[in-house]
Amino acid sequence: MAAGRPELLSGLPPIIDAGVRTLILGSFPSPASLAAAHYYAHRQNQFWRLLEALFDEPLCVLDYAGKQQCLLRHRIGLWDVYRECRRRGALDAAIESAVANDFSRLPEVAPQLRCVCFNGQTAGRFAAWFRQQGYATQVLPSTSPAHTLAFADKLAAWRAAFADPRAAA
């Protein structure tokens, strides 16, 4: 670290294949996720619990490979808007020197992609760009424990988004 600046962090690779119809984009992995090399590894993050309720499948008991397979089986991809950044701690507000992921190959990598859902407002800043590319977009309540909306309210918003035929798996 130079002069007290946080170190430059690199994100995780996308979970995506040619069958993906919906892509969920977060902002940048938490320190727990980076350490585990797994998306949403922090035990208090509600991401996997929300998807478990949406799919009515026991996602939380699966290992990470099983979770990835479940996402792809439901034609859902997962990635982050930032490829790298500097950040002290886990809060999106602490992100600095962020570099966006290169989304230009999405039409080639995921030709069936129709809808991009954003996990929280920070990721949601990219919604306009994705709309310009012809994708339907949904900015959803963050699954982070820092976002204090009740789980039932988060689930209702996520459920409504995935009821949209453009996002339906």
Task: Look at residue 89 in the predicted model and tell me its pLDDT.
Answer: 75
Task: Look at residue 88 in the predicted model and tell me its pLDDT.
Answer: 82
How many other CB atoms sit within 10 Å of the CB of residue 47? Answer: 23
134 conformational bin, left if phi > 0, alpha if psi -120 to 50, beta if neither: left
How many other CB atoms sit within 10 Å of the CB of residue 100? Answer: 13
Can 45 be counted among the known catalytic residues? yes
**Which residue pairs, CB below 8 angstroms and at least 24 apart, start in 110-113?**
110/16, 110/17, 110/18, 110/19, 110/20, 110/23, 110/77, 111/18, 112/18, 112/19, 112/20, 112/21, 112/75, 113/20, 113/21, 113/22, 113/23, 113/77
- Whether residue 151 lies inside any domain: the answer is yes
Structure token pair of residue 28? 């940048």
- Whether residue 126 lies inside any domain: the answer is yes
Q: Which of 30, 45, 119, 142 is the catalytic position?
A: 45
> For the chain, which ranges sit under pLDDT 70?
1-3, 90-92, 94, 165-169
- Whether residue 3 lies inside any domain: the answer is no
Domain that holds residue 92: 8-163
- Whether residue 169 lies inside any domain: the answer is no
State how many domains the chain has: 1
- Whether residue 131 lies inside any domain: the answer is yes
- Whether residue 21 lies inside any domain: the answer is yes
Q: What is the pLDDT of residues 70-104, one digit of tens each?
A: 999 999 999 999 999 988 876 667 677 888 999 99
- Whether residue 1 lies inside any domain: the answer is no
Q: What is the pTM of this model?
A: 0.92
- Whether residue 104 lies inside any domain: the answer is yes
**What CATH number should be reported for the domain holding residue 112?**
3.40.470.10
37 conformational bin, left if phi > 0, alpha if psi -120 to 50, beta if neither: left
